[in-house]
Structure formats: C-alpha cells, structure tokens
Amino acid sequence: MNKYEKLFERASIGSMQLKNRVILPPMATLSGDPETNFPSDETVAYYEARAKGGYGMVCVEHTCVTPAGVYGPGVLIANPSTCVPHFKKLFDAIHKHGAKAIAQLGDGGTSAHPGYNGNNQTVSASSTPDHRIRLFPHEISIEGIQEYKKAYLSAVDNMIEAGVDAIILHLANGYFLASFISTRENKRTDKYGGTMEGRLRLILEIVDEIKRKYGNRITLFTRMAAFEDRYGRNTEETMVIAKALEKAGVEAISFNAGSYFELYHELPPYTEPQGYIMDHIAKLKKGLKIPVFGGGRVTEPLLADAYLIDEKVDFIEIGRGGIADPEWCNKAQSGHSDSIRRCIGCCRCCDVVDGTEHGCSVNPYAFKETKYSIEEAENKKKILVVGGGIGGLQTAITATQRGHDVVVIEKNSYLGGNAKAAAMPINKGEIVSMVTSLAEDARNLGIEIILNTTVDADFVKNMNPDLVVIATGATPIPCTFIQGHEEANFVDAIDFLMGKGMESIPRDANIAVIGGGAIGLETAEFLAVYENSVDIYEMEPNINTAIVINTADYEMIKNVKKYGVGIKLGHKVLSVKDGILSYEASGQVGQSKKYDYFISAVGLRSNDELAKELETAGFQTLLVGDAKEPSRFMEVLTDGLETALQIN
C-alpha cells in the first residue's frame, strides 16, 4: 500500500485530470537561450527530469510577455510567435511522462533590470523601487497598459499553440502585475490605482479578456502572495482579492509569500521552518471554493501528506525539493523516501550572487541535466574510497553505478565528515539529511562501508585495489599566526561544534571568535544562544568579502546580530596574553577586553597527507573534494561526480 495515499491520489481541477496532488511550482532556472530567451535544450532537460520524477503538474518558470520585463540572464520570453516550437518541445517533454504542463506568464516590473532587458525602459505600476535592485522604474502609462494586455494575450496564444494545459497569471513576488495590487508599490492616481477596485482593475481586465477569448480552451490559475511583510498586504486583504479572482473565473490559486522586499519569504532559507506559510494559506482556503495550492519550503513527504490530509491545501507544492531531487515523487510513492535528497534551504539554487555558480548544494546534476550521463566504464576497477564524507560517498555511488567495485573506508564511527559539523549550529540540522540519503543510495547499490578504520599504506596493500580515491576532507587551520595562542584557551570551531575541546558549553562567558566566515558566524550564534557574550574578529573590512552573501547568509548575519554578537570587521588579531587580544584596525594597534575562551574559525586546509604517503608507496590515487581543495557542498559533490565519471 502507498504510504502517502493523499499525496498520490488522482485529482482534478475543472476539466483537467491530474495523476497526483504534487506540483512543481514555477522557479527560475535561468536556462533560456541567451540569444532568444526561448527554452533551450537545458531547459527542456531540467523540466523533463521532474516530470519523469513523478510530478502531477509541472509549472514552467516565470515567463515574460515583453522584452522589457526580463529580470535576469536566461529568463524566458513567450513572445513573439517564433517561440512556439521551442515551448512545444518543452511541453511535449513534460507530457511524455503523464504530467500537466503549466506556463506562468508575467513581467519583471520593478525587478526588471536594464542589464538584462536590452536596455528597455523598466516599467511598473508606479515609480517605486524594490528593496534589492533599488532602481526607480517608470510608471507605466495608460497606453502602455493597453499594450501590455495585448502582449499578454499574444503570449497566451503562443502557449496554447505550443500545447500548454493551463496558464498562471503571475501576481506574486513584487513583479509587474503584483505591483498593481500592492499599496506599497501602487501609487497611481488614475483608474488603475487609489482604491482596491482600482488596484484590481488591470488583473480583472486580463482575466476577463482571457475568459472571453478562450473560454474553456484554457485553464486559468493565479499565483499570489498570501501576505507581504514590510508594509505590504495582510492575509485579510489577500482574501478579498482571491474572492474577486474566483468570481471572475479563475479556477485555482497558488499562494506563496514574499518579494524582493522580503526575500526571506520569496526565497526562504533554512532559517524559515518547513511549511512556514501554511497556516496563512489554510486560512485563505477556508474562504474559497476553488482549489488552493501552496507549500513553503516543504521537503518531507510525511509533512506534505499531512497538509493534504488536514485540508490546509488541495495540492502541495514541492519546489526546491524537486531541484534537490527530481525523483522526489517517485521515491516517496515507491517507499524509498529515505533516499530523497532533501533541500537544505541554502538558497544556492535561487539566489546566485558574486558570480557564484547557479546550482544545488545537494544535487550536482541540477541545472546540468544535459552535461552528465552515467555510462558503463570500459574497464571495471576495484576502487578503495578513503573517507566517508559527502565527496567520498558521491564518488563511490557514481563509480558503482558505472560498474566499478567500490569499498568505502571511514576512520570515524559515523559518515558525513565535516558535513556533520556543519549541521550542528542553530537551524542547520537538515544538513544531515544529505548524508543519510547518500548513505541510503550507497547501501541500495551494495557498496561496502567500513567504519572506525584508519588507512595507511599497509592497509591499502592488503586490500590490493586498482585505484585509491582520497576523500579525507579538510582540517581546520590553527591560529599559529597569533602570538601566544598556545597558552590561551583556543578551541577549534569544528571541534567545538562536535563536542570536543570543552567539557561543557559555558554560560555568561566572554568569548572571542577569530574569523568571520560562515563557520565563525554560525559558531558565534551557537555560543550566543547558550547565553554567552560573543565577539567576532574578522580581518577583512567588509563581511561580504568574508562570506558569500545570499539570502541564507543575510538571515544568518541578522540572527547573529539579534543575539548581540559583536562583529569587529577590519580587525587583524596579532597576539593574546592573559585573555586579552592585541589587534590592528585602521592602522592602529588596540587591545580587547578580557576573554575567557577563544574559538578559531580562520578556515580549512586540505588533508592530503595520505595521498602523499600512498603515492610514495607506488599506489595510483585520486584526490576528491575538500582533500583536493576546501569547498562548499555543491563543489564537493560535483567533484566527486566528475571524478567518478572519469575513471575508466
């Protein structure tokens, strides 16, 4: 019997029949053709993988109806009609696996940027900037509104010709149409502003024109925020708008939250709990007769099923969970939910900054579906993988899938390496699911895993492998550059998080954390939560240079400040004596207050000593992941995947 009966029961919306109640909501892949902004082969492969993975409905990302609405590289456009063959290829790929294909249409509005929209004039309901890009758009004219409506209907024409099953009118996330219904953004003094009726007018006109032109030929949904923080819209006002849309003939509504004003809701990081907006959605559902969709960082099948059983939603949206594992539905339905790679809320997929590669921290295939393929190895080898962290496990899994005989050796009593330490800080517990899913994949493939075992040249000689993969990770860099650190109470951050170096967590202690990167910030937050006074000393003058800043990072920094942690930027620590630090800041030498403990968080260095030993002994070796170069999760898993693909 299916464990999650409500998730996978057949359902319908109007005349549209669905094989289950699980929806992939629209999320930007930024994979459109750079010349045309039409779906590329990469776009098709990404969505087909999710359709093949068992979703009942696959919603294609926000697709603009005008070039001026483009808000990022690779954003899709549904005009002109030359786009039709490209979208048809996309929709056909989705249909091939029994899923319904949905197009979300809109424009960027305040989020559109001249750097991406061909230097077209950015327009919105009013000349009010969003919270992130902060450029003043032009207030669209009445004539411009009429042209927009024509472009929207033309885009609907194109999508119908391409074979779409339904259209989503995009009223969410502060984009063009959302700006009309928000008093925070709509300051118009004509018939499209002022009152609630005025703010709703454009949306209802578009709904009416679609209904009059297409009738039952197309199913029409809308997507809108259940609420907006920071002086936006509350749930009660959203209810009024939703009822007006229902009365106008909209057949279902998808509720999310947030915009660039509240990015922590639009792109919720790990600091937001799973299902964090579900109570708001459930309140809205009670006032509506049409089906309601929703999610809010839901990754667990048990939780998703419970929301349906409790009738908080009619259909559940599994968004970034489907990026993390396109087989989310198939694995849950077939009883293999333990092997689902769950989203950990790091925002790596949806909030790319500082040139960081777009991708997924737990799924190295995400957005690269055309790049990698598992093919049988020409020469099957006996491979010894030393290290049971995420890099070693990913290498072992991929190598085994290619036909190699793999054994994993881990010195500790547990798998995961430094990933386990990364899961110890506040709000980070979901990280361990990455380790458990990798371990489950390894077990299902029959990979032998040996724990509590140290490897040296003699051990390898007895095993007699053809190849040794060194996945021994990275070790903390000691604070040897600080004069007097040997006599001070210095504890490494990773050791501390793993319960080493201190017999107990202190209370009401003065603690200095040396290093303001991610590990330092997380450790400082951890210590502050346990009622200590904590200061961070970071030699870089700007926190942006100490840590990659995206939504998850911003929220971590906000939490650190909320707990009273002092962040001393541009402070290079020189020495320590009697609990007092000497440091250089702005060209001047100063001294700190007296500290009881010092936490070292100045970075990691590769642990490649075993590789050197084995190479000297004549063994063939390959370095993987942090043992090659300390990196983030995505880079470590990708390196493990690519290394295994090259072994022949």
Q: What CATH number does the domain containing 638 carry?
A: 3.40.50.720
Backbone phi and psi for residue 81, each to the nearest 5 degrees, phi listed first: -65, -15
Q: State whether 537 and 618 are in the same domain.
A: no
pLDDT of residue 135: 84
Are 248 and 170 part of one and the same domain?
yes
The verdict on 272 and 410 lying in the same domain is: no
Instruction: Give the position of tokens 């290498």.
Output: 395
> Average pLDDT in the 173-200 region?
96
State residue 266's pLDDT score.
86
Within-domain flag for 357: no
DSSP 447-483: -EEE-S----HHHHHHH--SEEEE---EEEPP-TTSB
Interior angle at CA 175, CA 170 and CA 177, nearest 5: 55
Of the listed ranges 138-142, 266-270, 580-584, the one predicted with least confidence: 266-270
Mean pLDDT of 108-126: 89
pLDDT grade for 356, boundaries at 50, 70 and 90: low
Listed residues 334, 364, 397: the one ending a domain? 334
d(C-alpha 257, C-alpha 260), whole Å: 11
- Supply the pLDDT for residue 120: 86
pLDDT of residue 354 exceeding 60: no
Cβ atoms of 116 and 71 within 8 Å: the answer is yes
Question: Of the ranges 345-359, 558-572, 622-636, which one carries the lowest mean pLDDT score?
Answer: 345-359
**pLDDT (tens digit per residue) in 482-541:** 999 999 989 999 999 999 988 899 999 999 999 999 999 999 999 999 999 999 999 999
Q: What's the mean pLDDT in 477-485?
A: 94
Angle at the Cα of 270 from the Cα atoms of 266 and 273, rounded to 5 degrees = 80
Q: What ranges make up the beta strands (E) of 345-419? A: 382-386, 405-409
Task: Give CA–CA dist 601/497, Å, rounded.
Answer: 11
Within the chain, what is the greatest distance between any pair of CA atoms?
83
614 & 564 share domain: no
Question: Is there a single domain that holds both residue 593 and residue 614?
Answer: no
State yes or no: pLDDT of 550 exceeds 70: yes
Q: What is the pLDDT of residue 193?
A: 97
Q: Which residue has the tokens 């390196």?
A: 639
Q: Encode pLDDT of 282-334 as tens digits.
A: 999 999 999 999 999 999 999 999 999 999 999 999 999 999 999 999 999 99
CA distance 70 to 36: 12
102: enclosing H helix or E strand:
strand 100-106
Q: What is the pLDDT of residue 553?
A: 85
> How many domains does the chain fold into?
3
Instruction: Look at 554 and 61; give whichever has higher pLDDT.
Output: 61
pLDDT at 130: 82
Report yes or no on 377 lying in a domain: no
Among residues of the chain, what percentage have pLDDT more than 90? 86
Tell me whether residue 375 is in a domain.
Answer: no
pLDDT value at position 229? 86
Instruction: Please tell me the number of Cα atoms within 13 Å of 54 on its side-chain side.
Output: 20
Average pLDDT (447-461) is 98
pLDDT at position 259 = 86
Range of the domain at 463: 382-475+605-645
Instruction: Assess whether 92 and 220 both reside in one domain.
Output: yes
146 with 251, same domain: the answer is: yes
Residue 351 lies in a domain: no
Whether the predicted pLDDT of 353 surpasses 60:
no
Are the CB atoms for 517 and 492 separated by under 8 Å? Answer: no
Which pLDDT belongs to residue 267? 86
Cβ atoms within 10 Å of 164's Cβ, excluding its own? 25
CA distance 482 to 581: 9
Q: With 0-12 CB in 10 A as exposed, 13-18 as middle and 19+ as buried, what is 419?
A: buried
Residues 448 and 461 in one domain: yes
SS3 329: helix
**Helix or strand (DSSP H, E) at 240:** helix 235-248
For residue 125, being part of any structural domain is answered with: yes
pLDDT at 355 over 60: no
pLDDT at 352: 61
**What is the C-alpha to C-alpha distance for residues 212 and 424, in angstroms, rounded to an integer?**
56
Domain-embedded: residue 346: no
Tokens of 330: 């198939």
CATH code assigned at 302 = 3.20.20.70
Q: Is residue 359 part of a domain?
A: no
The reported pLDDT for the residue numbered 548 is 67
Residue 544 sits in the same domain as residue 615: no
β-pair partners for 293: 254, 315
Task: Inform me whether the pLDDT recorded for 192 exceeds 70.
Answer: yes
Percent of the chain residues past pLDDT 70, beyond the cut: 98
3-class secondary-structure state, position 248: helix
Q: Looking at residue 592, which CATH number applies to its domain?
A: 3.50.50.60
Q: Is residue 555 part of a domain?
A: yes
73: cis peptide before it, omega within 30°?
Answer: no
Judge if 561 and 422 occupy the same domain. no
Distance of alpha carbon 430 from alpha carbon 422, whole angstroms: 10
**269 vs 63, residue with greater confidence:** 63
Let me know whether 495 and 636 are in one domain: no
Whether 455 and 543 map to the same domain: the answer is no
Decide: 610 and 604 in contact? Cβ < 8 Å.
Answer: no
